[in-house]
């Protein structure tokens, strides 16, 4: 399969959106484009499975390499392994759901700013960056795609956001730029130590001295860590998510935060295994703090968006914990958690957006009894809440369980304590999730005017169903995802073990 299609589809859609004349066209073009992207992602999955079934054991599939700045060793080098395929699939799910949720944006509170065309254009640009990022095998191009998303994120929050949106947009842009600056230094360090190459596959074959690895690893891991809300660099997350428009939050939490996690693993850990070993304990401590701190911070929140933003910090902590544990199962679990959290949090934000668009409040204590007027939305809210607290049968359980199993394989006291501490957060999660759902959906109707509200429209239903389907597909039959991720995790472990 030609990987350029994955970049071409969102790019063409974005250009078509810019050229379209009215809102109707904008919407339908975006939807058509995102359906094509979903189709491509599924086709990629099938093609990938076919290759593996045929016994193809290459490290990356569908490789393509075009020179760009050949004298500097920069190439358009693309290729996918299981991790990339899973991430691309996740991206396409979130994109289509985001487009559907924003269907009537001009009638929603966020749509007051107008400029629907620009809104969709920026969303698609964000998607383009994510697809490009996940298929890049050249650090420079990877960095290029990572950075592409800065402008859309800033403008999406700043123009269509709510609350203190300018502050949040600025904070997000500057913190992410700070992360990029760290990545840049680490990347150039790698480039010069490894004989002027940005190529991930070449770099993975190069012997990099341990001291250099110890020096460069913090730059790369912290840099990508900013993107994925590594404690204590997570502070842009609550503000950014809560100020962003619904689709913006979905993209931010569902896709953009995963870019960071993917980078932590693929670039920092995979290319600098000695560095990873050196700093693994610190990563574990930081992620355990993030898990617990995020969970407890969520308990104190009254705003639904803040609840999900802080719980995201907690959930993403599991991914980083899995990476820090450095066992194959834990890394597989970390990757599963990324996919699972991407779907779950996108759905969470979608539901919050739906509630907010109707009730015009996100405060938990102002709601109550929404089950009656909004049965569909409330049901989805239930499902996603249960997924978040790790109910078996939904994706959250599978992912977190795998992380814990992998973590437990380290049999010293330090790792055990960290695992137990992280596992305890599940109780806290259950408290805040159940409380939030109980206060919003159950109980007596607090505000009589809420009884007049209309339940989800076709577009919102479709968006929710697509994401729920993803969650169930992982929750009920995790085997396919495991098959996808495990060989790639094994490759990373081989490098860490020095084979």
Alpha-carbon distance 386 to 264, whole Å?
Answer: 28
| Selected binder of other proteins within 140, 217, 236, 306 (CB under 8 A) | 140
477 lies in the site for other proteins, by CB under 8 A: no
70 lies in the site for other proteins, by CB under 8 A: yes
Taking each helix axis from N to C terminus, what angle separates 395-408 and 375-388, rounded to the nearest 10 degrees? 10
Q: How far is the CB of 185 from other proteins (least distance, A)?
A: 5
CB 52 within 8 A of CB 110: no
- Residue closer to other proteins by CB (options 19, 72) is 72
144 lies in the site for other proteins, by CB under 8 A: yes
- Residue closer to other proteins by CB (options 169, 422) is 169
| Selected binder of other proteins within 173, 230, 288, 398 (CB under 8 A) | 173
Alpha-carbon distance 307 to 226, whole Å?
Answer: 20
Classify 473 in phi/psi space as left (phi over 0), alpha (psi -120 to 50) or beta.
Answer: alpha
Please choose, out of 69-77, 90-98, 379-387, 389-397, the segment that lies near other proteins by the rule CB under 8 A: 69-77
Total residues binding other proteins (CB under 8 A): 34
Return the bridge partners of 75, or none.
Answer: 67
Please choose, out of 31-39, 139-147, 245-253, 331-339, the segment that lies near other proteins by the rule CB under 8 A: 139-147
Alpha-carbon distance 409 to 328, whole Å?
Answer: 10
| Selected binder of other proteins within 43, 46, 181, 417 (CB under 8 A) | 181
Q: Which of residues 187-206 bind other proteins (CB under 8 A)?
A: 188-189, 191-192
Q: How far is the CB of 211 from other proteins (least distance, A)?
A: 13
Structure tokens at 91: 């991206």
165 lies in the site for other proteins, by CB under 8 A: yes
Q: How far is the CB of 280 from other proteins (least distance, A)?
A: 24
| Selected binder of other proteins within 24, 57, 71, 449 (CB under 8 A) | 71
Q: Can you tell me whether residue 60 is helix, strand or coil? A: coil
What are the contacts of 444-452 at 24+ separation with CB within 8 A? Answer: 444/368, 444/369, 445/368, 445/369, 445/372, 445/373, 446/366, 446/367, 446/368, 446/369, 447/359, 447/366, 447/367, 447/368, 450/358, 450/359, 450/367, 450/369, 450/370, 450/373, 451/372, 451/373, 452/373
Q: How far is the CB of 190 from other proteins (least distance, A)?
A: 11
- Residue closer to other proteins by CB (options 24, 70) is 70
Q: Can you tell me whether residue 65 is helix, strand or coil? A: strand
| Selected binder of other proteins within 154, 262, 310, 397 (CB under 8 A) | 154
- Residue closer to other proteins by CB (options 148, 299) is 148
The DSSP line for 434-469 is: HHHHHHHHSSS-S-GGGGG-----HHHHHHHHHHHH
- Residue closer to other proteins by CB (options 197, 312) is 197
452 lies in the site for other proteins, by CB under 8 A: no
Question: ∠ CA 335-337-342 to the nearest 5 degrees?
Answer: 105
- Burial call 47-57: b when 16+ CB within 10 Å, e when fewer: ebeeebeeeee
Return the bridge partners of 80, or none.
Answer: 61
Q: How far is the CB of 158 from other proteins (least distance, A)?
A: 5
| Selected binder of other proteins within 68, 201, 299, 430 (CB under 8 A) | 68
How many angstroms separate the Cα of 61 from the Cα of each of 41, 51, 88, 181, 270? Answer: 14, 8, 14, 31, 18
Look at the chain and count its residues: 499
- Residue closer to other proteins by CB (options 219, 231) is 219
Binding mask 16-55 for other proteins (x = CB under 8 A): ----------------------------------------
Please choose, out of 62-70, 94-102, 314-322, 332-340, the segment that lies near other proteins by the rule CB under 8 A: 62-70
| Selected binder of other proteins within 23, 170, 278, 361 (CB under 8 A) | 170
Alpha-carbon distance 391 to 384, whole Å?
Answer: 10
167 lies in the site for other proteins, by CB under 8 A: no
| Selected binder of other proteins within 72, 363, 417, 427 (CB under 8 A) | 72
CB 250 within 8 A of CB 160: no
| Tokens 């250009």 found at | 15
Q: Which of residues 388-447 bind other proteins (CB under 8 A)?
A: none
152 lies in the site for other proteins, by CB under 8 A: no
User: Which residues sit at the interface with other proteins, rule CB under 8 A?
Assistant: 67-72, 74, 140, 144-145, 147-148, 150-151, 154-155, 158-159, 165-166, 169-170, 173-174, 177-178, 181-182, 184-185, 188-189, 191-192
């Amino acid at each position: 399969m030609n990987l350029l299609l994955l970049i071409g589809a969102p790019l063409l859609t974005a250009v078509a959106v810019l050229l379209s004349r009215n809102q109707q066209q904008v919407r339908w073009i975006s939807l058509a484009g995102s359906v094509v992207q979903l189709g491509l992602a599924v086709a990629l999955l099938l093609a990938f499975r076919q290759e593996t079934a045929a016994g193809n054991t290459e490290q990356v599939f569908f490789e393509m390499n075009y020179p760009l700045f050949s004298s500097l060793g920069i190439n358009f080098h693309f290729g996918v392994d299981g991790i990339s395929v899973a991430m691309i699939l996740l991206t396409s799910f979130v994109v289509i759901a985001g487009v559907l949720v924003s269907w009537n944006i001009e009638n929603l509170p966020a749509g007051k700013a107008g400029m629907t065309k620009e809104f969709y254009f920026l969303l698609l640009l964000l998607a383009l960056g994510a697809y490009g990022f996940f298929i890049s095998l050249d650090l420079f191009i990877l960095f290029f795609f990572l950075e592409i998303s800065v402008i859309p994120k800033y403008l999406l929050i700043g123009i269509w956001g709510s609350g203190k949106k300018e502050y949040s947009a600025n904070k997000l842009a500057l913190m992410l730029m700070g992360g990029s600056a760290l990545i840049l230094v680490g990347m150039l360090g790698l480039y010069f130590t490894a004989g002027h190459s940005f190529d991930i596959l070449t770099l993975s074959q190069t012997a990099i001295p341990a001291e250099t690895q110890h020096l460069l690893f913090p730059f790369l891991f912290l840099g990508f860590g900013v993107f994925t809300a590594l404690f204590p660099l997570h502070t842009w997350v609550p503000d950014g998510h809560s100020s962003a428009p619904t689709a913006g939050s979905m993209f931010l939490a569902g896709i953009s935060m995963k870019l960071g996690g993917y980078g932590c693993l693929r670039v920092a850990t995979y290319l600098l295994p000695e560095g990873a070993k050196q700093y693994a304990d610190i990563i574990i401590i930081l992620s355990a703090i993030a898990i617990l701190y995020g969970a407890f911070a969520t308990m104190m929140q009254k705003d639904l968006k803040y609840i999900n933003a802080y719980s995201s910090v907690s959930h993403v902590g599991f991914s980083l914990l899995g990476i820090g544990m450095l066992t194959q199962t834990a890394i597989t679990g970390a990757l599963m958690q990324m996919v699972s959290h991407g779907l779950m949090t996108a759905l969470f934000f979608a539901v919050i957006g739906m509630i907010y668009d109707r009730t015009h409040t996100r405060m938990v204590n102002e709601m109550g009894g929404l089950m009656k007027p909004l049965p569909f939305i409330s049901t989805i809210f239930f499902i996603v809440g249960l997924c978040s607290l790790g109910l078996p049968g939904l994706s959250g359980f599978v992912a977190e369980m795998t992380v814990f199993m992998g973590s437990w394989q380290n049999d010293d006291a330090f790792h055990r304590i960290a695992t137990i501490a992280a596992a305890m957060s599940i109780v806290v999660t259950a408290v805040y999730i159940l409380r939030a759902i109980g206060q919003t959906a159950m109980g007596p109707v607090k505000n009589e005017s809420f009884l007049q509200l209309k339940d989800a429209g076709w577009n919102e239903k479709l968006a929710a169903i697509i994401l729920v389907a993803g969650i169930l597909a992982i929750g009920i039959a995790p085997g396919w995802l495991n098959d996808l991720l495990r060989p790639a995790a094994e490759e990373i472990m081989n490098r860490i073990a020095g084979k």
